[in-house]
Structures are given as C-alpha cells and as structure tokens.
Chain A
Amino acid sequence: MAFEFPKSLDDLPVSKVKWVGKPVNRVEDPQLVTGKTEFIDNVTLPGMLHCAILHSPHAHARIKSIDMSRAAALPGVVTTLTGEDAERWTRPMYTTPQGWGGYVLATDRVRFVGEPVAAVAATSRYIAEDALELIDVEYEPIDPIVDAFAAAQPDSPKVFEDHDDNIMYQRIFTWGEVEEAFQKADHVYKESFRWNRVGANPLETFGIISEWDIVEDSLTCRGSFQTPSFMAMGRAATFRLPSNKVRFIAQPHGGSFGGKGGGRGTDITLMLSRKAGGRPVKWIEDRMEYLSSGGSQAWDRHYDVSIAVKDDGTVTALRVKLLDDMGATAEGFGATGAVKPMASFTGCYAIPAAEYDLTLVATNKLPVSPYRGMGPPPHNFVLEQMMDIAARDLDLDPAEIRRRNFIPADQFPYIIASGNEYDSGEYEAALDKVLEMAGYEDLRREQEEARAEGRLVGIGVVSTIEPGVFDWNAYTVIGTAGIGIPEGVTVAIDTMGKITARVGFALEGQGQYTVITQLLAEYFGTELEDVRVVHVDNLSAPPNFGPGGSRLGVAITGAVLGAAQRLTEKLTKVAAKMFEVQPEDIELLDGMLRVKKVPESQLSVRNVAAIMLNRSDMLPPDVDPSPQATFAWTAPDRVEPDEQGRVKSYLTAANACHLVMVEIDPGTGKVEILKYYIADDCGTRLNPANVEGMIQGALAQGVGAALLEEYVYDDDGQLLTASFMDYLLPTIHEVPFPEKAALVTPSPFTPLGAKGAGESAIHTTPAAIMCAINDALLPLGVRAKEVPASPNRLWKLIQGASDQ
C-alpha cells in the first residue's frame, strides 16, 4: 500500500499546529542535567570483570611471540586473550573495500601504533592495567610506511603482504565532457591542498559490557552503540552465531559523531566473557586509547584540483584528484568518507562536468573512521578555495562568482553531474540573507581600512550543501550491500490513553526523542507529557539503523507518521463501528475521531484505544485488540548506481551560507574570528532549537578542523597527539556564536518537508574560515593550502612573503 505522508505541517490532523516546528524543551534534558542518565560506565552487573587492552607500541612489526603467563598469574586476573583466540573464534573483520583487514587482535603482525595485541579480564581495571605490564611480547620491528605518496608507489614496502601494493581502491569517475570543457575553457586554475587528519571526539568514549551465555551460546551487549542493530548483525557474522541469539542494548551515550564503531572492543570483551565462563566483562575505552586506537581519526587527504572557467566566471568543469590515506586497514567504514563527496561533488553550483580521480592508500597509521559530515568537508574546502582563486583572477567579488554559478531556484529537483539529485534550494536567497545580515559592503570597507593600516583582515563567503538522508546505495562502489535503510518505530496507546514509542536507537544527544514526542503529541492531540519514547533492544525493535548520515530526523519522522497513520486506521474502524458508519466517514482531528460533518459524534483517541483493549464485544471482527502499529521508513525511489557511480543517493540537500571575517596576527600567525554570520536552509524545521544546536556544535567542529585539530604522526608512525594536551579541541573561547538566520525551502520528497540537518555547519565552516584567511593573506601574495591553518604555518607563510 502506498503511503501518503503529510507534505507540510498544514497536513497534520489538527486545526492548529501546537508542537511540531516549535522550539520545545528537549525531553532528554531533565535526566541529563540532573545526572540521572544511565551511561554505560554507570552500569555494574553482578560478577562483572574489567578488561584492559594491550596496544602495539610499534607502527609496523612482526610478532615473534606473546607470553601471557606472568599476566595470567597476577592475583585478580581471571582470563587473558590473544590473536590466537580471535583466529579460533572469529572471522576476520569486515572491511570496505573487502580484504583489507585482520583479526580484532593482532596475529602475526602489528600494522599501527595502538593496534590491540592482547587483553586481560580482571576484578578491577587497576589490576587489569597492572597485568598489561606483565605481558611479554617479542616484536621484530619492520620499517613503517607512513607517507601516503610513498605508500602509493608501486615499489613501496607493503602493509599487507598478500596484496600487490598498498592501493586499497583506485578509480577515475568521469561525469560529462570534462576534457572538452577544459580545452574550451577561457581559464584553467589548478592548486594542491592538504587536509590533515582530524576526527570525531565525543565527550564519552566507547564503552561496553559483554556477556557470553555459555549454556545457550547467546550474547548480550550493553554499551554506547550508535547503531545497535547493525552491530548485532555484525557480531552474528563474526562469531558465526544465529542472529537471534545476539542481543544489543544501547545505553544513552555522550555523542558519537561517527567515532563509536567499537567493533574491536565489542569482540574482545565477548571473547573474554566466553573464556571467563560467561561473566560480564566491561571495557571503557579511555581517552588515550580513543585517540590512538579508537574511532577518533578521519580524512587524511592530499588533493590536486583544477577548474575550467569562462571569462564571465562560469565554471564549466571540476577535476578533483584525491589521495586518501586510510591508515592500516579498511575496517570501520572509513572509506565511505571518500565516496560521499560524490553526493554533492559540485557543491551549490551548476557545473555540468566533473571528474573524480580517487585513490585510497594503506599506511601504518590508525585506520580512519567516519566523522560527522562523512567526507565532504575537506572536499568543500578545496572546491571553495578554487572558487575564490578564480574570482580573484577574474576580478570578481567572491560572493558574485558564487551567485553566477548557483543552481537557479527554478531548476529543482536538480541532478548534479555526479548523479545525486538535489530536492530543492534557494541558494541565492541564502547568500543575499547573509550579505544583508553582515552588512557586506560596510565590512569590505572596514577591511580596506584595516588593510591600509597593514592589518591582515579577510572575509570568506561560502555556500555548501549538506547531503541528507544517507542510503547504502551511495556506497556500493566500494563494496557495501543493499539499497535502503529501514528505520522503524512501534507506537502503542494504552488503556490510560498514554502513548509509547519504541525505537531501536538510544539517546546520543541530537534530540530525536523530542522530535518523536512532538510528532506524536501533535498527531494524536495530546500534551507532550502523554508521550514517552523508549529504547528497546535489537530483538524487540522494528527494523532500525539509528543516527548517522544526517538521516534519522527525516527517517524517524516518516516512521512515526507511518505508524500513526496505521494506528489511526485501526482506531477508525472501531469508531466507525461505534457510530454505525463506514470507516471512510470517520476523520481524526485534534485527538478526536469524529464522523465527518457530524462534529458532535466524536470519541477521543484515548477512549477508542481503551475500548479496543477492554471491550472485545465492541470490536469489529477484522480488528485485533491492539492499539499499536509499527512502521519502518526508508527513502523512496532509490536504485543502484550506474557504471560511473551515479545514483540518486541522498534524498535531501540542505544549504548553508556562511560569512566569516578573520584577522591574522602577523607576529604570531594566530587567527582571530571577528565576525560570523550564517543563513541555513534545511527545509521544515521540526524543532528549530534542535537545528540551532546542530549548527552551533558543528560550527565548533569546523573551527577545530580549520584552526586547531590535527592528528600528527612522526616518521616512525608514532602518534604525537595521543592526549588532549596536543590534540586541540576548540573550547567555548574559540568558538563564535554567530548571528543565524533560518530560510525554509521544504523538501518535496520527505514527510513534512524536513531535510537532513545533523551534520550541518561542519560542511561549511572550514571552507569559510580558510577562504577568509586567504582573503586576509591576499595583499602578501601567499596562499594557505593546508588545514589546519595553525599559527606556526601561517607565520611561516607570512615570513615567506616578507622574505621575497
């Protein structure tokens, strides 16, 4: 049966919208701010043991021997684990692309500093860590392969002996007449860029308690899982167990941003539990483990970019060559980050032809993980620098060159060269809004005055797309399977008329439970307090995936509205019987089921539900006594990609325009953000306060990427940023609170017109800040091409300019 989803808030069954679209307080917050939320480290189970993991100190080495005997003999140690156990009990890790990984504990070789080598379970974490010092591992170091360019050479030493080289994936995607466009161009601009490793840093690291029931060979894991059902399937495959014997319970967690893959910790604790006779085993990843061996790192990129441009500033083609340093393995879906830029390859611009020359290379570093934004932020950085380079050369204002290339508002839905379809947008309106808020002309004047005084002041104006509603079909080119990602909810009304929504994902911080609450209270005409959202384990939940890929807000809205509609159909049948009319004669409005045109013949949803549960004598024969319904939503009309990887993948295209003004201190190279303005268009805002929170948080991550954050490895493959002393996250002092404007161009493709908005400003902020920095450097004739623009780097550039 085809579902008709309400296209806008006006289509909801109420005379006046009360909750949806309003900045209602988050239902998650009272528990959080009073410290009642049960994070995994607050959970203690009877008989629980504590795991500690021994990590490799070498970037590359053969393991000659491991002797666990001294560790095992330490009082308090219950069991130990090595790669031999992993080989016996598990399959090698799932990787994309396939075949680039090993076991969760190293067997014959270690391939990065931090790789898990052995583990112990003891009666306390203290003892477990003491035991690690008693493990005797004999390593034979091998020269590490650290530099991505060297690693990509055919004669490079290899990370995996069973491969011909270190190239995990290589392909050139060509979309349209690229060569011709470059030949016919009035101007061709080329530049190289470097984006250094950054990554997800949630407040809480990964944590888990695993239990292996050795009687029935079933698993129960509690933890800070971003995607519990997906994790559960993975474990069934890893341990060759029937999938219905794997139970995953997600605890509320303190963020993820893609960094909570946690596969290795999960499998290690499961095996320890098995060896310990089924005792629960807890592992809380500490911050240094997270930074050096967890899901913390992403996007380690070397770019060569060129654009073909006409005299009037129209960009006719874009070529991007990317060497993406994946680290040692392809576990944990890090490679998706190199593919997702295809969903918004040409940004907000109507660039008809493009080429993507993509190489994923293995090196002896931590494997990269997904990170909020999933790959486009560096791509947007390089694209937007190219737009500015062209603008400067053609003597166009940066705002003007963008205006000339925007996809016009009347062209939507619009299919971009790389194949994705943008649903709707008003890019010029967003730009105008930002320019107006900022008082652009005055700002440019201020800048002129500052320049006259010798100050380095610059302005960046950048527009980007946030591809929303991730679908697996985008990633089939690197070997993922499937099309569509069902996200389900079960909605139940009880005898008291209270509503419960059961979902498969736990709290992570984005406020989706609040959105579900708003939707259900609206739909059934109740107060917010009448609705409760609960997380249920993977065996109890409808099909689900959880947060990821700027998808859940839209997907769960579809699921909730679908379930509400199904439930209403049942209630309608009961009401129809009561009023002795046909179901078609009944309508739901403001929480009442009423006979159309006879407003006094009405029953509340609550009453009808109670009748269903308590008066079987009043039920129509085709209705079971269950005021509940389940619905799973997935994006419509998704198919497989064509031979060039082109596909309608991400369903929505949100747009943001940022304007930032910076000043560089020439003596120290330090950047100060003077002004920041944002116009953001993510369609219908289901909860505007949530959207603002997403923007502000993503902006912080963008500031970090542009100015502060960087995972640094030395030539030996040692990580030099294994603590927050050296991996510099922005604090509240470094992050501006911009003036923000909301534009609303609803999506024609989604329920209520909402677009994915969870990744938000991280797509735009690094590009905007770097454009502003380069604008500031313009009078010196130098260009910052490396992110982050650290003070030392900028100072060096400025020095170079004055030495000339």
Chain B
Amino acid sequence: MKPVSFEYFAPTSVADAVSLLQEHGPEAKLLAGGQSLVPLLNMRLARPTAVIDVNRVEGLDYVREDGDALAIGAMTHQRTVERSELVQRVNPLLHAATRLIGHPQIRNRGTVGGSIAHADPAAEYPAVALALDAEMRIVGPNAERLVPAADFFVTYLTTALEPTEMLTEVRVPALPQGTGWSIQEMTRRHGDFALAGAAVTLTMDGGACSDARIVLFGVGATPLRVQQAEERLVGERVDATLMSEVGREIKTSIDEPLADIHATSEYRRNLAGVLTERALVEALERAA
C-alpha cells in the first residue's frame, strides 16, 4: 500500500495551483484533506504524476455571510463548518449534514471543497448542495465561473470541473425562515458512507406546502432530485398519509440503484422511500 512515485508541489496561491494544473495536464491531482485521495493513491487506484497540495494556498479557509448566502472557502475543514455558530443559525441543514460525515478525525482534515469535488454519490455535501441550490465558484486558467449544483454533479465521481480548474468556494443560500428541513440516512455503522439517504426541505404557507425539495443520495451516480415527488407535495396539506404515499412512490419510481454487498437494489429503493418519508415527517415538524 504505497503510491506510485509522483512529483509534489505546494503552491501558495490559487493562480499558482491552476498554472500547475495547466502545466501537468490531466495527470495532476489537487490534494486537499486527503481523506479520499490518499487511500486511492496508496491502493494505486489513482496514479497521478503530480500531486498539487493546496493546503498552503491562502485565503480559502472561511465561512462568511454574503448577502442571503453562506460563502464557504473550498479549503475550509468540515470540522470548522460543524463548529460554526453561523452555519448552525443560517443553515441548520448544512450543519446537520456535516455531522454525518465520517468521524471527527475525518472532519478535522476533510474539506468542504474536497467532498464536493470528489462527488461521491453517497456523500452528504453534494446532496445538500443540490437541495439548497448551492453554487460552486470555479477558477480556471483564464476565467472564473459559478456553476449551480444542478449542473455541477455529472456522474459517479465526476463533476463539471475541468482538469485545469479548481473549486475555490461554495455558496449556499440561507435556508428561508420557517422552512422545515431534515437529512436522514442509513449506515451500517456510525460514520459510514450512507447506503442511502434523503435531504429534504419543506416550506409551509397557510397550512399548505408552498415549496419542497427532495434529494436522495447513495442511490444513483449523483445526488438525485426527485421533482415528481416534490410536485406531489406542493399546494397540498401535507399529512401522514401523503408523506407515506410519497415515500412509497419513490420506492418504485426511481431508477434501479446500484447493488453492492451491503445493499441490493431492491433494498436501496426501499431505503430511499422509507428515509424520504421520515425526512418529510421531521421537516414538517420543523416547518413554521
């Protein structure tokens, strides 16, 4: 379990990091918290010729309020987000999702940008980013662009990032006052990647649902927004029967999820439905 040999760089600015990416092409890899990349290197599943360690890049470690959104630097440790009172106040869903990532040891090193750029289909951050309409700030050799979450996650471990680009910031709109939220997941053990999960927001207006978001994770190649189910809720008085129906429909409507040794497709479908229903129940309780 030793990596193949590679060249190591430790730039101190985004511009230097990006020009190193340009210089070394697709064979280069950025190293953030290393919680996903280093195991891949050691198992020789990733074989980059250059590793560009961006831990010394300045100015990417922050959580701040920016208008109606939270702006989070890509190199902000997950632990920082977890401990941020600001995040807890402005976006309790993001906060709750953070606590579900691995263990404190993992969150001490793992970064917000690393998790989103890695785009594991079972990861919490990508799901929450999609549920909350987050935007990714991406810096490339010539330009900077903002990509909405809906366009960012392309497929399994693949995002809209070009090989020469770096993710620098994640902008997460604040959860509107009175919006209920919940994130539910099923893991074999505390801290494991989810076998399946659901992140939900629910806005109620005068007894009826005015807006709903349902995003599943762990059941497809990317986080999966289930618009059909959202539409079943909007305009309705949400009650136990409806939430249970929505859960049941999800079990049959989503594309066949991947099977692995911990979960068959059938079981994952079931989890998606069960967890969605539970998330809706909790979100409804929280909705003002």
**Which residues of A have CB within 8 Å of B274?**
667-668
Say if the beta carbon of A790 comes within 8 Å of chain B. yes
Interchain CB contact under 8 A, A790 and B262: yes
Task: Choose, from A25-33, A123-131, A466-474, A567-575, the stretch at the interface.
Answer: A123-131
Interchain CB contact under 8 A, A668 and B271: yes
Say if the beta carbon of A34 comes within 8 Å of chain B. no
Which of A286, A668, A731 lies at the interface centre, i.e. has the most chain B CB atoms within 10 A of its CB? A668
Say if the beta carbon of B55 comes within 8 Å of chain A. no
Of B3, B44, B189, B270, the residue contacting A734 (CB under 8 A) is: B189
Q: How many A residues face the partner with a CB closer than 8 A?
A: 29
Given A712-B261, A792-B263, A796-B267, A728-B189 contact (CB < 8 Å): yes
Interchain CB contact under 8 A, B2 and A126: yes
Cα-based distance from A191 to B271 in the complex (angstroms) = 31
**Which residues of B have CB within 8 Å of A129?**
1-2, 44
Q: What string of 1s and 0s marks CB contacts (under 8 Å) between B1-22 and chain A?
A: 1111100000000000000000
**Which residues of A have CB within 8 Å of B44?**
129
**Which residues of B have CB within 8 Å of A88?**
none
Say if the beta carbon of A448 comes within 8 Å of chain B. no
Q: In whole Å, how far is A539's beta carbon from the nearest beta carbon of chain B?
A: 34
Which of B2, B44, B264, B270 lies at the interface centre, i.e. has the most chain A CB atoms within 10 A of its CB? B2
Interchain CB contact under 8 A, A792 and B189: no
The number of inter-chain residue pairs (CB within 8 angstroms) is 56
Interchain CB contact under 8 A, B191 and A733: yes
**Which residues of B have CB within 8 Å of A275?**
none
Say if the beta carbon of A670 comes within 8 Å of chain B. yes
Say if the beta carbon of A287 comes within 8 Å of chain B. yes
Cα-based distance from A499 to B62 in the complex (angstroms) = 60
Given A668-B274, A792-B263, A733-B1 contact (CB < 8 Å): no
**Which residues of B have CB within 8 Å of A734?**
189-190
**Which residues of A have CB within 8 Å of B262?**
726, 790, 792
Interchain CB contact under 8 A, B190 and A733: yes
Interchain CB contact under 8 A, B2 and A731: no
**Which residues of A have CB within 8 Å of B195?**
791
**Which residues of A have CB within 8 Å of B188?**
708, 728, 790-791
Q: In A766-801, which residues have CB < 8 Å from any B CB?
A: 790-792, 795-796, 799
Say if the beta carbon of A721 comes within 8 Å of chain B. yes
Interface residues on B, range: 20 to 34
**Which residues of B have CB within 8 Å of A484?**
none
Of B189, B261, B264, the residue contacting A721 (CB under 8 A) is: B261
Cα-based distance from A792 to B1 in the complex (angstroms) = 31
Q: In whole Å, how far is A607's beta carbon from the nearest beta carbon of chain B?
A: 55
Say if the beta carbon of A730 comes within 8 Å of chain B. yes
Say if the beta carbon of B31 comes within 8 Å of chain A. no
Given A668-B274, A733-B191, A795-B267 contact (CB < 8 Å): yes
Given A288-B43, A792-B262, A731-B191 contact (CB < 8 Å): yes
Given A670-B186, A731-B189, A731-B191, A726-B261 contact (CB < 8 Å): yes
**Which residues of A have CB within 8 Å of B3?**
126
Q: What string of 1s and 0s marks CB contacts (under 8 Å) between B122-138 and chain A?
A: 00000000000000000
Complex: chain B residue closest to A733, CB-CB: B190
Q: In A419-471, which residues have CB < 8 Å from any B CB?
A: none
Cα-based distance from A723 to B39 in the complex (angstroms) = 11
Given A667-B274, A668-B271, A795-B267, A126-B5 contact (CB < 8 Å): yes
24 contacts between A and B (CB under 8 A): A126-B5, A129-B44, A130-B4, A130-B5, A667-B270, A667-B278, A668-B274, A669-B267, A708-B189, A712-B261, A720-B261, A721-B261, A726-B261, A728-B192, A731-B190, A731-B191, A733-B191, A734-B190, A790-B188, A791-B186, A791-B195, A792-B262, A795-B267, A796-B267
**What 6 A-B pairs are tightest by C-beta distance, nearest first?**
A733-B190, A667-B274, A286-B1, A126-B2, A792-B267, A129-B2
Question: Contact residues of A with B, CB < 8 Å?
Answer: 125-126, 129-130, 286-288, 667-670, 708, 710, 712, 720-721, 723, 726, 728, 730-731, 733-734, 790-792, 795-796, 799
18 A-B pairs besides A286-B1, A720-B261, A792-B267 with CB distance below 8 A are: A129-B1, A130-B4, A130-B5, A287-B1, A288-B43, A667-B270, A667-B274, A667-B278, A670-B186, A708-B189, A723-B43, A726-B261, A731-B189, A733-B189, A734-B189, A791-B267, A792-B264, A795-B270
